[in-house]
Structure 1
Amino acid sequence: MAIEKHTEGRERRRINRREFLGAGLAGAAALAMSSPIGAFGLRVALGQTPPRVTGYGPLEPRGDLALPRGFDYAIISWQGMPMSDGRLTPGIFDAMGAFPLRGHGGRRIALIRNHENRERPGEAKVVVPPELEYDAQMYGGCTKLVVELDGRREPRVVESFAVLGGTSTNCAGGVTPWGSWITCEEVVKRGAGGRKHGYIFEIDARASGPVEAVPIPAAGRLVHEAAAWHAGILYLTEDRSIEPDPVLGEIGACFYRYIPSRRPRRPGDLASSCGRLEALKIKGEHHANMDTGRIVGVPYDVEWVPIDDPDHEDDTDSRKDRMPGFIPTRIQAQDKGAAYFDRQEGMWVGDGKIYFDCTTGGSQNLGQVWEYDPRREKLTLIYESTRPETLENPDNMVVVPQTGDIFLCEDSPGEQYIRGLTPYGEIYDFARTLTNDSEFCGACFDPSGRVLFVNQQGERGDLPNGPAGARAVTYAIWGPFERRSGARTRSFSTYSLVW
């Protein structure tokens, strides 16, 4: 949706096109030679049209989806499908993670899938035993699918059950190297019984049944979106729009990192940890606006500010009176100078860098893609959409193991696309909906990198199977991912390949 941009009181330094070009041809050439994205940024700054490339070729109708030639798909799970625990599959699918399962010769994997139930009419609750659920008032949670991939027939689900319940608005999340799924609540509120929400939870991907829902308060109470683990740190995105603030002029979403006091080694360690939560700040800029006025390809030096009260008592995430103990996490961060964005959502790790997108980021509210390099402590805008035909409102994302491309799942009006973004800043279409216009979400690859799993979220209503033409579904898509036009095939380091 279109988000109004509040501009009053902005007195922050931005690098604009004139400054970029004013740096001189030598400086611009140096930037262009420093990286492919830098070259792309130079083209954009010079007013050239952002490039589109062929990708895997034109999209051809395949039934429910349009895909490039050579690719095929199967629907492996859907809302209302009977599960192994005797219940029907709940709807409102969202983010997923894929995990190898031992003892099956690499032929079986586990998918942990979020259900973004918000306790609204038309939702089917994710049901687990009462002693394991976090809050009986809440409908959200996760299901686990055991998927067989034997290479001789289509992928198929051989077991499924609810694995976590009693949470709310389980939107995105992330995988860990020790085999757990981090599921994130995209809401800050309190249940009727007094339970606070706005947390992340850890799920053992090898669990044979439901697990106890244990929150991780030290990682912050906020409108969580995605999580990504890298080098002893859990990075977190926040899905908040830009809005007015009486002190700062305007506030938005922050980019966080949680550093546990001891390094987790097995599922459950993170849930029992304590540590510190910090928010990203641009060096030399207090409360930097990252939504508009940023140039693609220009790196920004970053530092981190501490969050003093990550488990605050505010239940709205909008309180602005700065009352001690009731200050929302993002306002604590931005009062200390943290940078702010417009609706951060998907995130993934690739080759030691953290990639995340902003669904309504940029001057046209169409979306941005950012790269954070923790080794160099640099943040770079690597793509900003200016036309909906190119990219419209990216949400979940995943790195393609063979090429290093980023697949971006759209959440936009009308037809939905999965778009591919190359390491050179070029964009292409990979998939389009044909029979279901609910958003793409949950993209992840199996551990071998040969099969892409992705959801369409579905809509609320018409239990148990969802509205006609808009039920939640999970696809398995396979084909020559290594053969993207112009790509150099290589093993791109992502979690799905290194477990």
Structure 2
Amino acid sequence: MERRGFLRAAVVGAAAAAFGGASWHGALAAGAQPGPSPYGDLLPADANGVMLPRGFTSRVIGRAGQKVAGTSYVWPGAPDAGACFRDGSGWIYVANSELPKSQGLLGGVSAIKFRADGSIADAYSVLHGTDTNCAGGATPWNTWLSCEEVPRGQVYETDPWGRKNAVVRPAMGTFMHEACAVDPERKVVYMTEDQFDGGFYRFIPTSWPNLSEGRVEVLCAPDDLTSGPVTWKPVPDPFGDPVETRYQVPGMKKFVGGEGCFYANGTCWFTTALDSRVWTYDARNSTLGLVYNGAEQAQQPPVLYGVDNITRAGSGDLYVAEDGGNMEMCIITPKGVVAPFCRLIGQHANSEVTGPTFSPDGTRLYFSSQKGLTGELTDGMTFEVKGPFRR
């Protein structure tokens, strides 16, 4: 969003020490630093305007205002975060639409169904009429949590197959939701908040995995903490009326522009766009750390700037999209190397990279240029990249 560029310029990052989860412990003592990509340098852009390493190819699977190939479904504008779900021998890709009601537009969630060979079998809507659906998260029980990024935003639980109606989950809190990540070991859902002084929350369902009831807690620690133990405290009124959730708990740690969120193997990775940081929450030890701190990079502008949505490959590599910057998606390896994986060129300069997610077999990566070639919210292009991903 346009406000982020201004706010980032006003933020000065503090010094950082970093560690990650599972395979990351001890590997990032100085934070991820620029280095050679495990895939090599980017080649000149292909016909779709995508720069990729050798051995990788791209195709456009959705363009706003146009029918998805082989279907009658028109792909929506402002495609954002997404996820993939196994469907027999094929899979389903779902993506949010960050269209705002304030501009007379309606957001929601769309789906594309793929056959085993990667051909498109169908496309359809699984949620429509909501407001500014930005990020979200997949659940282990095969639903997609779609989040509204507005001050009174809600979380909607949707069915990627489109057979069941989407259900709003007000118990998960009313605030400027960004992303969700499910921790099945502790039976909680982590949530980010896209505010300059936002919180990092977790929702604890009363009866797992039913998300209709439960309590919301917020991470508490000194605001200058970048590495160390943290605690959680309950949010008295998750509905935020009249006091917004981030102002209810003394000692809540403030994060500047919470964005993407992804859980695996005891660790939740999440990003903050306004200071270009990638954080880790070690759920087993209840500690916080930094994987990447853009403000502390010797190279300015840094390789990875304006961090946004995040995902993780089976290899442990993190893929982080840029909101702005030079329209790249970067990889952060478990050895602490950050490098470009792909870049969109040309008229994409007024867009942002959104929604990286892998197909269930790890051979295809999906992401979008949210505003496409025109820079308008009603535009947007969604890509599939295929190649020898590390798994």
TM range (shorter): 0.7 to 0.9
Match of 2:204 in 1: 259
SS of alignment partner, residue 28 of structure 2: helix
1:417 correspondence with 2:345: no
SS of alignment partner, residue 2 of structure 1: helix
Structure 1 or 2, whichever has the larger Rg, is 1
Judging changes above 3 Å, is the alpha-carbon distance between structure 1 residues 418 and 6 closer, same or farther for their aligned structure 2 residues? closer
Alignment equivalent of 2:108, drawn from 141, 147, 150: 141
1:135-167 deviations in Å (ceiling 9; x for gaps): xxxx111111112241xxxx3322111111121
1:101 correspondence with 2:10: no
1:356 correspondence with 2:319: no
**Residue identity matched to 2:301:** P
Match of 1:207 in 2: 162
Match of 2:20 in 1: none
Match of 1:323 in 2: none
Match of 2:42 in 1: 59
Match of 2:124 in 1: 161
1:7-66 deviations in Å (ceiling 9; x for gaps): 9xxxxxx9968xx9xxxxxxxxxxxx961112x35xx9xxxxx34223311101222100
**Residue identity matched to 2:291:** I
Match of 2:140 in 1: 177
Are the equivalent residues in 2 in contact too, given 1:409–1:417 (CA < 8 A)?
yes
Judging changes above 3 Å, is the alpha-carbon distance between structure 1 residues 205 and 118 closer, same or farther for their aligned structure 2 residues? same
The alpha carbon displacement at 1:2 in A equals 3.4
Matched residue count: 369
Alignment equivalent of 2:366, drawn from 439, 446, 453: 453
The alpha carbon displacement at 1:228 in A equals 0.2
Are the equivalent residues in 1 in contact too, given 2:126–2:161 (CA < 8 A)?
no
The alpha carbon displacement at 1:461 in A equals 7.7
Match of 1:113 in 2: 95
Whole-Å Cα distance in 2 between the matches of residues 207 and 185 of structure 1? 19
Are the equivalent residues in 1 in contact too, given 2:372–2:381 (CA < 8 A)?
no
Structure 2 unpaired stretches of 5+: 18-23
Match of 1:304 in 2: 232
SS of alignment partner, residue 360 of structure 1: helix
Judging changes above 3 Å, is the alpha-carbon distance between structure 1 residues 156 and 85 closer, same or farther for their aligned structure 2 residues? closer
Whole-Å Cα distance in 2 between the matches of residues 163 and 34 of structure 1? 39
Whole-Å Cα distance in 2 between the matches of residues 16 and 390 of structure 1? 18
Are the equivalent residues in 1 in contact too, given 2:311–2:357 (CA < 8 A)?
yes
Whole-Å Cα distance in 2 between the matches of residues 347 and 16 of structure 1? 22
Whole-Å Cα distance in 2 between the matches of residues 279 and 85 of structure 1? 43
Whole-Å Cα distance in 1 between the matches of residues 14 and 42 of structure 2? 38
Match of 1:329 in 2: 245
1:276 correspondence with 2:215: yes
Whole-Å Cα distance in 2 between the matches of residues 460 and 223 of structure 1? 28
For the aligned residue pairs, the C-alpha RMSD in angstroms reads: 2.6
**Residue identity matched to 1:380:** G
Structure 1 runs of 4+ aligned residues shifted over 3 Å read 4-7, 14-17, 83-87, 459-462
In percent, how many aligned pairs have the same letter?
31
Whole-Å Cα distance in 2 between the matches of residues 144 and 227 of structure 1? 19
1:368 correspondence with 2:323: no
Whole-Å Cα distance in 2 between the matches of residues 479 and 442 of structure 1? 18
Match of 1:488 in 2: none
SS of alignment partner, residue 412 of structure 1: coil
Matches within 5 A, 1:386-405: 386=297, 387-401=300-314, 403-405=315-317
SS of alignment partner, residue 167 of structure 2: coil
Are the equivalent residues in 1 in contact too, given 2:321–2:330 (CA < 8 A)?
yes
**Residue identity matched to 1:354:** C
Whole-Å Cα distance in 1 between the matches of residues 382 and 25 of structure 2? 40
Whole-Å Cα distance in 1 between the matches of residues 271 and 34 of structure 2? 19
SS of alignment partner, residue 207 of structure 2: coil
1:478 correspondence with 2:389: no
1:225 correspondence with 2:229: no
Match of 1:321 in 2: none
Are the equivalent residues in 2 in contact too, given 1:55–1:429 (CA < 8 A)?
no
1:84-131 deviations in Å (ceiling 9; x for gaps): 8855222110000100113xxx2x21111100001355x7x5xxxxxx
SS of alignment partner, residue 82 of structure 1: coil
Whole-Å Cα distance in 1 between the matches of residues 214 and 25 of structure 2? 36
Are the equivalent residues in 1 in contact too, given 2:159–2:166 (CA < 8 A)?
no
Whole-Å Cα distance in 1 between the matches of residues 181 and 234 of structure 2? 19
Structure 1 unpaired stretches of 5+: 8-13, 21-32, 45-49, 126-138, 189-196, 242-251, 314-325, 362-366, 483-490, 492-499
**Residue identity matched to 2:289:** T
